[in-house]
Chain A
Amino acid sequence: MDATFFLNVTSGGLLTGLVYGLMALGLSVIFGVMRVVNFAHGDMMVLAMYTAFLLFTKLGIEPVPALPLVAGILFVFGYLLQRFLINRFLGVSEHIQFLLLLSIAIIITNVMMMVFGPDARSIQLDASFESYSIGPLVLDKVRVIAAVAAGGVALLLGAFFRYTTTGTAIRACADNPVGARVVGLDVENLYAVTFGIGAACVGAAGCLLVLLVDVHPNLSSDYTLLGFIIVILGGLGSLGGALLGGILVGLSEALSGALIEPSLKSMFSFGLLILVLLLRPHGILGKKP
């Protein structure tokens, strides 16, 4: 176990973690504004991965250039879902919301199961086997591209919430829905836009992750759980927290996988989650509700 190996595992985990963080960002935005826990998050993720896969195999568009397109498709999907279905269930008990999103998850996953079948599919690019080496450090090219793109999307999202009118209006809805309605904001529409943005984050993340892992419909519940772990670690509703949580989980997965036993890697993530829930119930960067 030399230092170079350790360094390579760490950097690989860090880069994958950024993509995880982008996925969790969507979950965090949706929860932060609507207080809805999206139990269909992993299913939307797999939907995005298949969309990227289809665009590549049928139209020959590589996942990175296809990213805006997939994000756009997922945005429309999320917008419609919130507008016509989830908006009717805001403010009801948690278990009812849970069941609602679970039903949506069951439908999404099984439609994909029906269309694509249970086999794992993967995308092979020319860049898949290339890597950058910086001194002793060897970085997979696709991993670097994915991480840079994930970071870019996250920055864009942060700027959107801070500087645009729509972003400010959405933050107003999150802070005080009644007040937002009083000053004349179209809260239902803004909620739909928010869910669309959350879904678009997943779309972007799915596009990038399809470069790193094979996609099959049964991945969905794993990604839903992964998303939860990440946002709870970082703090539900905090954008920086989601990225930080993603990096932590990416690191923990890579290190426990390489140093201890690959099949134990998610146990360490869950252990990390339990620890953070008990020490800081609202996450590392989260605020008390």
Chain B
Amino acid sequence: MSIATLLSDRRAVLLLGLLAVLVVAPLGAGDYLLSILITILLQAYLGMAWNVMMGFAGQFSLGHALYVGLGAYAGGALFVHFGTPPLIGAIAGMVISAAAGAVIGALGFRFKVMGVYFALLTIAFAEFTRILFDHWGWVNASSGLFLPVSNRVTNDVWMLRGSATMFYYVILGMAVLAFAFSRSLLRRRIGYYWQAIREDQDAADALGIDVFRLKMIAVIVSASMTSLGGLFIAFYNNNLYPESIFSMHRSIELMLGTIIGGIGTLFGPILGAAVLTVLGEGLTVAGNAIGIDGIKQIAYGICLLAILILKPGGLWPWLRHRLGLDGGGR
């Protein structure tokens, strides 16, 4: 694709423009803004990972905190106990998460546990694992696992020890890769198969698509991607508690942005993450100004409700249309 044709595609121009802004953003951003940008990118990344399973293949997982936790604990515990570099921990986490996803998927799909029942099965596995980690001494059980913090001045990307700016570029890189990966998945045969299964599983089956195998691939890909997000959380926060990393609250938070942004779309998870993070931060500031505890969460719930009633298909499909970007693709 030549530069001229690239520039004639408005979507590509907007996307590259956004990327350029994000690349230079740390130069002008203070600590607070940078932490918000990191949160947005992390939520967008996790949302994109969840989107592969739910948005593309139509399998409703309500227990993705399981893969976040497994990725976080694999990387974190190996680092704490053996000083293993995060990259190796990441591979371990991805393998473990893929295996966990494969077990849940195989059990669920083989035994024809579908829809809501499948979603509840995923919650059950996540909660089961949370309580297991709460009692597992090697990872410090419920007292939590702490990663040693040596410095925040020099950046050591190999060991993921360093400043917030370094973490910002790491998560930006992860988000860009996840976006490109999702885009290529959707444009390949496998993406079309998944969408066929999502729209009508029986029809897809009748057409000769190997439904079981393709759903398994969706779970495994989504679980591995999610575990990388968990690894990032472990090294960015430096502390891990089963109570929070495996919590249902995390599973919900992780998919909320994608549902709000537009499920099954490429840009929805990013827009949703930005909208919800900014909304949350804005309401915190407003709530502190008013000085009533809990009002923030109530307003948050009302905003979710309003978006749901006004734009049930998600914000991105609507915004895309308003911006005149509906040209065929996503």
Residues of A within 8 A of B (CB): 37, 88, 92, 94-96, 98-100, 102-107, 109-111, 113-114, 221, 225, 228-229, 232, 236, 261, 263-264, 266-267, 270-271, 273-274, 277-278, 281-282
Q: Pick from A107, A264, A271, A281: contact of B117, CB below 8 A.
A: A281
| Interchain Cβ contacts under 8 Å between A and B, 11 examples | A37-B116, A94-B116, A95-B54, A99-B308, A109-B297, A113-B294, A113-B297, A114-B294, A236-B117, A277-B124, A281-B112
Complex contact A277–B116 (CB within 8 A): no
Does the CB pair A103–B107 fall under 8 Å?
A: no
Residues of B within 8 A of A225 (CB): 123, 127, 248
Task: Please give, as numbers and ranges, the residues of chain A lying within 8 Å of B297 by CB-CB distance.
Answer: 106, 109-110, 113
| Cα A61 to Cα B259 with chains together (Å) | 44
Residue of A nearest to B303 (CB): A103
The digit string for B223-262, where 1 denotes a CB below 8 A from any CB of A, is 0000000000000000000000000110010011001100
Q: A94-B119, A270-B127 are in contact. List 14 more A-B contacts (CB 8 A).
A: A99-B256, A99-B304, A103-B308, A107-B298, A107-B305, A110-B295, A110-B301, A114-B293, A228-B120, A229-B124, A274-B124, A274-B128, A281-B111, A281-B113
Bound CA–CA A271/B125 (angstroms):
8
For the complex, give the distance between the alpha carbons of A263 and B243 in Å.
12
Cβ distance B185 to chain A, nearest Cβ, rounded Å: 20
Within 8 A of A (CB), among B277-330: 292-295, 297-298, 300-302, 304-305, 308-309, 312
Minimal beta-carbon separation of A86 from chain B (angstroms): 11
Whether B54 lies near A88 (C-beta < 8 A) is no
Residues of A within 8 A of B292 (CB): 114
A residues within 8 A CB of B312? Answer: 92, 96
Q: Which residues of the partner chain B approach A96 to less than 8 Å between Cβ atoms?
A: 259, 308, 312
- Of the 9-residue stretches B31-39, B94-102, B129-137, B208-216, which lies at the interface with chain A? B129-137
**Whole-angstrom CA separation of A169 from B135 in the bound complex:** 50
Q: Decide: A100 and B117 in contact? CB cutoff 8 A.
A: no
> A residues within 8 A CB of B119?
94, 98
Shortest beta-carbon distance from A271 to chain B in Å: 6
Q: Which residues of B contact A (CB under 8 A)?
A: 54, 60, 62, 107, 111-113, 115-117, 119-121, 123-125, 127-128, 131-132, 134-135, 248-249, 252, 255-256, 259-260, 263, 292-295, 297-298, 300-302, 304-305, 308-309, 312
Known: A113-B297, A114-B293, A274-B125. Contact between A106 and B304, CB under 8 A?
yes
Query: Do B249 and A270 have beta carbons less than 8 Å apart?
Result: no
Chain B residue at minimum C-beta to C-beta distance from A267: B131
Q: Is there contact, CB below 8 Å, between B124 and A273?
A: yes
The answer to whether B294 and A110 have CB atoms under 8 Å apart is: yes
Across the interface, name the chain B residue whose C-beta is closest to A114.
B294
Which residues of chain B come closer than 8 Å to A266, judged between CB atoms? 127, 131
Kindly provide the distance from the CB of B109 to the nearest chain A CB, expressed in whole angstroms.
Answer: 11
CA distance A99 to B308 in the complex (A): 8
Q: In the complex, A107 Cα to B308 Cα: how many Å?
A: 14
Minimum distance in angstroms from B307 CB to a CB of chain A: 9
Separation of A157 and B256 alpha carbons in the complex (Å)? 36
Residue in contact with B131 in the complex, picked from A92, A100, A263, CB distance below 8 Å? A263
A87 CA to B121 CA, complexed, in Å = 27
**A221 with B124: in contact, given A103-B304, A107-B298, A110-B301 (CB under 8 Å)?**
no
- Closest A residue to B296 by beta carbon equals A110
A270 and B128 form a contact (CB under 8 A) = yes
Known: A88-B309, A104-B301, A267-B128. A114 touches B295 (CB 8 A): yes
Contact of A107 among B54, B112, B120, B301 (CB under 8 A): B301
* Distance in Å: Cβ of B218 to nearest Cβ of chain A: 15
The answer for the CA separation of A13 and B11 in the assembled complex, in Å, is 60
**Smallest Cβ-Cβ distance to B112: which chain A residue:** A281
Which chain A residue shows the least CB distance to B305? A103
Distance from B32 Cβ to chain A, minimum over Cβ atoms (Å): 25
In the bound assembly, the distance between CA atoms of A113 and B120 in angstroms comes to: 27
Given known contacts A88-B309, A95-B263, A106-B304, A277 and B121 CB-to-CB distance under 8 angstroms: yes
**Would B249 and A221 count as touching, CB distance under 8 A?**
yes
